[in-house]
Structure 1
């Protein structure tokens, strides 16, 4: 799916104000006309995988707090309020609307018209009239060609690097700017309406049985209380400082359970004439509200806290009416906050969210949180500007890269992220992000080898909390036998089964939302992860990387992880069947490319093993550990053997057992990490560079003329070994960003930028924004949306000038 060649113009700009002075418009932002659709967006590769379509916008809300999303059409349509779970769908009543009276009177709800007939009396904003722009965590709607006033809405949450408080807050700020460029006064009214969804975001089947999906992945049933509003009620809030509404439910248990809590929206007092309506019916035509608002910008005054009956829906709204003299400019902040303090995983497995460390845990703090945001939003906005300034001013980075670098952070909020309250053991809480929405388990270690660079650089304490969780999990065991999906043919009785977790095997992941994340690991069962040949190396490399790049002084972190380092390497060494120092792959896919068979010593896993031994020697020497001498012996034996077995004069062979001539794009990941960590090269530098050139020419340039990115594995002539293969013929977005970082590291600067730019184009010009997938194909399909690994773009930032970052 070739991209629009002119579209990269969207990513460039000077950051200057628009002609009318209404808005400080951001440069390096992804932009799209408001409500503009996609003719041929990428479509999902497998029917069982998630594909909500391209109408994704920037998520709002702090890490682990639950988030919401507003599309480029203005619709609120993403509801990741229940930790780890996904709900997508527009609620038309959740909307901003705007009234204007000048030479003519007009009013529009600032979203797209519902297709199901709801709110049919409302007038909906015409598509194409204005621009939506995003540079996470800020986004803008610029409304043009409809109203006489010049109108902008900036949206953001306090996503602040090295901040472990406000970054967790469940708040969204909408900063509206109105300017009157005419020679006549204008009367405007801004309305925010919201459907009461309290109680909807909890799983009614929290301990459902696990099934095997058609692609071999384990799945479970998630059944929220969507639409069940009996007991919900709304009330107006008016004080000397702020006014708005609060949405609640009765009874409200103490302590609250999952789904219990409230919403609140506030604006400052004194900015105009306030109108409130605490109860209206959002499922009908909406005429009761709209007839008043569209005539003069007012609302029928209703302050009715009557709870909804069974089957009934209730919504609230407020409007602020004000006048603008000719040439006048006015800013109005609107804050939306939510307080759902409890996340329940398996039945009875309850965690409080991180933001509850800074308020109580009663689920009645939405107004308090919103009021705090009203007081602090200008400070937060300036702090975001400050931390992004080195990115935007970086002299060596192109604008498209700056845009994608910021926007790929979206997954830390909307990727089912968890951030628990603090404890004595975990003073900043525990953190986790899903591998993706289709593979719904947390912090897959093989994926985060590339996908954790953003967390490392911006929130290093969260990064180390994840690695501590893996260190704690490595010695544990769970003998429960499970069906291995790769071999499953539909008969549970004859299916191949394996233990869930062997002691000292590094777990693949930190568990799933329906069980007990951090404690019950290895949720995935597509392969037997106890046999994987990359996980132990990944763990060791990440521990040393995190220690090194957070100053090299956190000896407590190093000591806490060291026993797990030893256990992990010992476990992997047992797969060295011939005693040459190199573990062998077993034939069944037993590494991150879990649909791709490797046999014998492989370039990918063998290289990671060599780099991991070097990292363990460096860390163990610092800690004065006796195992270092053993690792030196293993390394001295294995390093020459690796080169001898796999180097063919042009590149490193896929493996020693399959006889394949495929050039694997990620064959030298171990060398990339060795150089990154300042370790000794695992292969001769000239061989590394020759192999990297071969990878670039074959997997990227020869794969559909470099239009899509680098395929995972092709024959030297650029053709597939098997035209029906899955992983070899996919372009993995995160692997491509990692490969670009490797190219840059080895001095192939132009090649690095060219590769990364092509992948960024595919994501942001074909409807994949804010749901970046693991893989795309040359047929315009994708797999595994909202994936963790694409944050590997931050690896390219690190090697190409990350010292300028906060």
Structure 2
């Protein structure tokens, strides 16, 4: 106990929402087959690659990304915090702290109200006004629940996992921490009890079909059915644990004892809930109750006194039976006093499986072993160190929060967009001699379920690079290893499937081609690459350039001193640049796009030399030259380096001249040289942005950059939004091939961001187009970074804010999509590319100042 109020200081920039408050309007999916769980998403809990869980602003635990690369969105009501309060006069109340009661089970429980009793009305205000019962706040990896107007006590729950920049150990732990702060503002003592109940889930999160058939979705993307073993609890049991430094419950599976523990399969392991004992508090442990019934076996004693019936029952669950456990901490707060109580939730599920017979141990097993029998040891360590971890997070974030030039909405989105590093189906494997920090990868998204799409992470990789540079290098090395491999398995191309025409067959992976991705959770990530088959990615004209730029970016922006990293990647650089050059069919120094969508905008046909791919090629040549010169200076053997450098310089000189000559139209760079399109492409000078970012020579003369950005800003942002507002009205509901959803007419004039490509007046070249008319969140952040780089800070923030407000005001938080439309639809949530906001931050904060190379 303490005599001073020690409520956690919630940063003012944290995202906030009243508890249980729904969304009168929110985005819905553009394609019915795409993932859409609705807007009830909160900060994920759990270390990077350890699996994570999510708790929504209603208070329910509803997101379960515990099987690597797989998605489960379902509320298990038994997994819950509850509170009991008794006043000195004997008045009692108890609530499970979720504002929505389950449909059937736990009917004996009382659920927390979404609204409190109305305030007394004034004479001139005859309508009673209800009061909020609290709020949810989020600033990843921390989040807070505050409770008010229901209890006499003031309660706050802060929850977090030990994730901070530069941390390659604790950031991998399968841990969720909850620090409760209780304050008594009254003049009488209050007795409180905080309950954490949990359901034994051991064995649930693994695919019952280990070799699912890959199918073709209606949008042309490959997918497979995931069938988790939810509810299969036969043989699971719970054990009460009471130690001098920790008290709680251990949840285990059939045959899971220390004496007979064997190396686990996927889904095997343990869960644990625990708290710290304290001489002034009572801790109750209940090891077995039925979460599938009305819940009275747990609730009846808790609602009467805040206690739990003494239960140390280790009986295993029978077939079809569910079991839960619970811990409660009861204490009395004198008037004016405050106390803090920690709880910890741990899951030790050490194995993640891929195709049948292929699996990997998670990164945290480097520190806690591979047995799956260490949940309690992890919980003990978390209770011992959580205050230090909490401070580490604060110390990392505080310099960002103190930057007066950054608005609060920007700081909020910057940190919250890191959610995808935990929630994006993340894979982080145990370390090896070849990979001393393990292998790391995040899905493109759950609709496109393959790892680290290279074209996407050209934008989305900024977060990992700036905060965990060794993980960034691990990802880039994985691509370097994949470039010389080949897989001649023939596949159909999904794009043609969507057109209703017969598809040509394409080889899965051609030697020398940079793969699009590092594989999928149902195969063998890092080994079987190029999982996507929507397009023939061997024909893409941006991937080789993307790879070279990401090699140099990882080197340059992490200190410019890791020459070994460049040595590792150089053979792949040489091979893939040679591969891409073969598409320069007319020998002018620039590879041509082939007419089929063959770059990151993979529904958008480019023909001949394109501004997007051509610019990336020129920047990649400059990066390759810089890498080669560095290797020469440091006397590192890189094969026929002088010959290659001479070749790259020749290609660069020739290509730079042709690029401007073929594409400049007097206001901006044309989409391409052969289609005749007049579209203004938002990302046309992406290569120029990366060249200047990395301290390389401009790929176009500096005088042409400002007018190009002016043309992009005017057409793709200002005029596009004006055009969309006129078109998207109740009288004219069809726009971009979609119907106006649940957005009110009053919202339609709000700017939502820049379209990928429109005519100079903001209108569409093709009203039924897809990618051109979509607003891509990550591309917008990339454009904003470019504007900021060129000193156009106000415009950079204007575009960034437009995207941020769509995400965080219209129910897309913690599931940020690739694309949104002016008619209230989205595509591809939980997307990797939006972490490009860290590129905006790098420019605005000065983090990307050119660094001198280290000897």
Give TM-score scaled by structure 2 length. Answer: 0.91
Match of 2:270 in 1: 262
State the match for 1:139 in structure 2: 143
Alignment correspondent of 1:649: 666
**Partners of 2:69 and 2:426 within 8 A in 1:** yes
Say whether 1:787 aligns with 2:835: no
| Aligned: 1:612 with 2:623 | no
Report the Cα offset of residue 290 of structure 1: 1.2
655, 669, 683: which one aligns with 2:700: 683
CA shift in 2, pair 1:803/1:491, >3 Å:
closer
Contact 1:22–1:150 under 8 Å retained in 2? no
Segment of structure 1 superposing worse, 548-557 or 770-779: 548-557
3-state DSSP of counterpart to 2:845: helix
Q: CA–CA distance in 2 between the matches of 1:752 and 1:344?
A: 42
Cα drift, residue 274 of structure 1: 1.6
The answer for the alignment partner of 2:811 in structure 1 is 767
Deviation string for 1:316-356 (max 9, x for gaps)? 01111110001111000101111000011001111000000
Asked whether the 8 Å contact 2:237–2:253 carries over to 1, the reply is: yes
- 1:115 Cα offset (Å): 4.0
Contact 1:132–1:141, Cα closer than 8 Å, also in 2:
yes
List 4+ stretches of structure 1 deviating above 4 A. Answer: 489-492
Conserved in 2, the CA contact under 8 Å of 1:488 and 1:496? no
Aligned match for 2:316, one of 303, 307, 310 = 307
Out of 119, 122, 132, the residue aligned to residue 109 of structure 2 is 122
In structure 2, what is the Cα distance between the partners aligned to 1:272 and 1:703? 61
1:730 is aligned to 2:774: yes
User: Does residue 1:214 correspond to 2:218, yes or no?
Assistant: yes
Tell me the alpha carbon deviations over residues 359-390 of structure 1, each in whole angstroms, 9 at most, x when there is no partner.
Answer: 12110111111110101100011111101011
Question: 1:560 matched to which residue of 2?
Answer: 568
* 1:628 counterpart SS class: helix
Alignment of structure 1 residues 592-631 onto 2, 5 Å: 592-624=600-632, 625-626=641-642, 627-631=644-648
Indicate which of 733, 742, 751 corresponds to 2:786. 742
Task: Tell whether the 8 Å contact from 2:29 to 2:825 is kept in structure 1 after alignment.
Answer: yes
Alignment partners' CA distance in 1, 2:497 and 2:134: 51
With 557-566 and 795-804 compared, the bigger mean Cα shift is at: 795-804
Matched, 1:484 2:493: yes
Q: 1:720, CA displacement in angstroms?
A: 0.3
Deviation at 1:395, TM superposition (A): 2.2
For the residue of structure 1 that corresponds to 2:847, the secondary structure is helix
State the shift of 1:25 in Å: 2.3
Q: Counterpart in 1 of 2:358?
A: 349
Counterparts of 2:11 and 2:73, CA distance in 1: 28
- Whole-Å separation in 1 of the counterparts to 2:762 and 2:460: 28
1:695 aligns with 2:703: no
Following superposition of structure 1 onto structure 2, how do residues 479-518 of structure 1 map, counting pairs within 5 Å? 479-488=488-497, 495-518=503-526
Question: 31, 34, 45: which one pairs with 1:60?
Answer: 45
User: Structure 1 residues 119-128 or 67-76, which shifts more?
Assistant: 119-128
Q: Is 1:365 matched up with 2:374?
A: yes
SS in 2 for 1:316: strand
The answer to whether 1:157 aligns with 2:142 is no
Residue 654 (structure 2) pairs with residue 637 (structure 1): yes
| Aligned positions of 1:33-182 closer than 5 A | 33-102=18-87, 103=89, 104-127=91-114, 128-182=132-186
Counterparts of 2:8 and 2:263 in 1: how far apart (Å)?
A: 45
Secondary structure of 1:221's counterpart equals coil
Structure 2: how far apart are the matches of 1:286 and 1:551?
57
Q: Give yes or no for contact 1:173–1:336 (8 Å, CA) kept in 2.
A: yes
Matched residues in 2 for 1:163 and 1:187: separation?
Answer: 40
Q: Secondary structure at the match of 1:274?
A: strand
Matched, 1:757 2:820: no
Quick check: 1:194 aligned with 2:203? no
CA deviations over 1:730-765 (Å, ceiling 9, x no partner): 000000001000001111111001110111000000
Superposed displacement of residue 114, structure 1: 3.3
Mapped partners of 1:248, 1:41: distance in 2: 40
Q: Distance in 1 between matches of 2:405 and 2:585?
A: 47
- 1:207: how far off? 1.6
1:660-679 superposed matches below 5 A: 660-679=677-696
The counterpart of 1:584, out of the listed 579, 592, 614, is 592
Distance in 2 separating the partners of 1:392 and 1:495: 52
Map 1:383-462 to 2 at 5 A: 383-462=392-471
Alpha-carbon contact 1:390-1:804 (below 8 Å) kept: no
| Per-residue deviation, residues 544-585 of structure 1 (Å, max 9, x unmatched) | 111111111111100000000001100000000101001000
Structure 2 Cα separation of the partners of residues 479 and 661 of structure 1: 38
Give TM-score scaled by structure 1 length.
Answer: 0.96
1:489 shift after superposition: 6.0
SS in 1 for 2:389: helix
Does residue 224 in structure 1 map to residue 228 in structure 2? yes
Q: What do you get for the CA RMSD once the two structures are aligned?
A: 1.3
Q: Measure, in 2, the Cα distance between the counterparts of 1:802 and 1:126.
A: 46
Residue 305 of structure 1: CA displacement? Answer: 0.7
Match of 1:713 among 757, 773, 778: 757
Distance 1:410 1:802, change over 3 A: farther
Q: In structure 2, how many angstroms separate the alpha carbons of the residues matched to 1:262 and 1:169? A: 14
List runs of 5+ in structure 2 lacking aligned partners.
115-131, 633-640, 723-749, 850-855
CA deviation profile, 1:487-506 (whole Å, cap 9, x unmatched): 126999x5321000000000
> How many angstroms apart in 1 are the aligned matches of 2:523 and 2:8?
47
Deviation at 1:690, TM superposition (A): 0.2
- Corresponding residue for 1:243? 247
Task: Quote the residue 2:727 is aligned against.
Answer: none
CA distance in 2, matches of 1:754, 1:22: 35
CA distance in 2, matches of 1:405, 1:473: 32
- Post-superposition offset of 1:612: 0.4
Distance 1:489 1:379, change over 3 A: closer
